[in-house]
Structure 1
Amino acid sequence: MAAAAIPGATGEVVSETPRRSRRAEKAEATRARLFAAAIEVVGEHGYAGTSVALITQRAKVAQGTFYNYFTSRQDLLDQLLPSISVKLLEHVRKKVLAAEDSPVAREYARITGFFEFLEQTPHLFKMLHEGAIQAPEGFRRHVSLQIENYKRALEYERRRGFLKVSGREEIDALTQMLMGARDYLSARFCVRDGEIVQPPSHVIETYMRFVVSGMFVEPEATAD
């Protein structure tokens, strides 16, 4: 459908499309500021200490403007983790695509990519550990996104003959084990003096030795 045309101040015909586009861009920028502000406030004060007033103050928008984009404080809080989750998946995907073509290299890319993203997005740690209680819908969607993506990755390795497990139920259990390892390792090794840091190298090395011996078929066993 063609853009609507209206008379300009001097009688010429001008399009409404640029004006609408500017309004849409401004609205998206405001929404993004509210999102970024909410992530910072949750990271500093926790979910329970996060209010609409604190979010809008940090985003430098009027408090009433908040409700043009979100129905409630909880609506925004439940959208935070899924939005970060998508960025995490993209970060890990790029690492995997850059890795050499081997199951070990891809798993190394997945685990190191996760820890890299955690360090680069320090507020994510608090959001993950409080989210199950304070933002259950958002936490559920985050977990679902991560699990389904990991299961697809493991199914890819299975189809190529690299996994020691074969059934769908086994892959589901393996996915939960690997996701659990991320959670516990980050809680134990990635918090130092209140800062989120990379785990020591021996943590990754131990993880990879466990994965390679327990999860993947020996390379010569996959040869034609």
Structure 2
Amino acid sequence: MTDSPAVAPKPVSTPVRPSRTRLSRAEKAEVTRTRLFEAAIQIVGEQGYAGASVALITARAGVAQGTFYNYFESRQDLLDQLLPAISEQLHELIRDRVRAAPDDPIARERARLCGFFDFLEESPHLFKILSEGMVQAPVGFRRHLEMQSESYRRAMEYELRRGNLRISDPREIDILTQMLLSTREYLSGRFCYVDGQFVRPSELVVETYVKLLTGRIFA
């Protein structure tokens, strides 16, 4: 009787578990805060500030109502933070558009206006949030205006240093800044919304704006 050949035992393979990247407590908090912000923007855009209750915001964000007060002192605190947060996003988008524009002052100003229209298209709730903000969220509304004015003034001071403006008085720079901002806001209200829906304004709106900037309106 011959012995059977010895069979080597099969190695036991240890299953490789996929690595999981766990969010830190601070990261989780920021995710929750962002969800509350986004929910508030949507609800204010749909129902106005008056309809944006804490209950609706937390339900839309998918968090417990009591969690809301871990991030905001009150409903009004959140509403007053909406416009400044949106203003920062707007600034970043327009800055990217200006950097991509040709090195020409009119091209940069065209990029600012078109960038604003692009932002409205991507963020259709902004117009309602802005139009009601003066009354319903005055703190945030004032901060939004300050941020936009500061940004535009820096842009005009840049053009002044480059010799691209016909004015030099600092008071005129302030007035020019407000004129350009006001024109942008009015054009968006007049040509970007029909029955509450965003409509991309025609190129004629931009071209007429450029004519105004280059002094080609009055004979």
The alpha-carbon deviation at position 98 of structure 1 amounts to 0.5
The alpha-carbon deviation at position 88 of structure 1 amounts to 0.3
Aligned residues: 196
The alpha-carbon deviation at position 25 of structure 1 amounts to 1.5
> TM-score normalised to the size of structure 2?
0.87
Structure 2 distance, partners of 1:98, 1:79, is: 30
- 2:178 corresponding residue in structure 1: 176
Give the letter aligned to residue 89 of structure 1. H
Unaligned runs of 5+ in 1: 1-17, 215-224
Identity %: 63
Determine which of 201, 208, 211 is the counterpart of 1:209: 211
**CA RMSD after TM alignment:** 1.3
- 1:54 corresponding residue in structure 2: 56
| 1:37-84 alpha-carbon deviations (Å, 9 max, x no partner) | 000000001011110001001001110000000000000000010001
Structure 1 distance, partners of 2:56, 2:118, is: 29
Equivalence map 1:71-90=2 (5 Å): 71-90=73-92
Structure 1 distance, partners of 2:132, 2:35, is: 22
1:109 aligns with 2:96: no
Equivalence map 1:30-179=2 (5 Å): 30-179=32-181
Structure 1 distance, partners of 2:93, 2:130, is: 17
The alpha-carbon deviation at position 35 of structure 1 amounts to 0.5
- 1:14 corresponding residue in structure 2: none
- SS of structure 2 residue aligned to 1:53: helix
Moved more, 187-196 or 81-90: 187-196
- State the structure with more CA Rg: 2
| 1:123-155 alpha-carbon deviations (Å, 9 max, x no partner) | 000011000110000011111000011001001
| 1:9-43 alpha-carbon deviations (Å, 9 max, x no partner) | xxxxxxxxx98x62211111111100000000000
The alpha-carbon deviation at position 200 of structure 1 amounts to 1.4
- 1:28 corresponding residue in structure 2: 30
> TM-score normalised to the size of structure 1?
0.85
Unaligned runs of 5+ in 2: 1-20
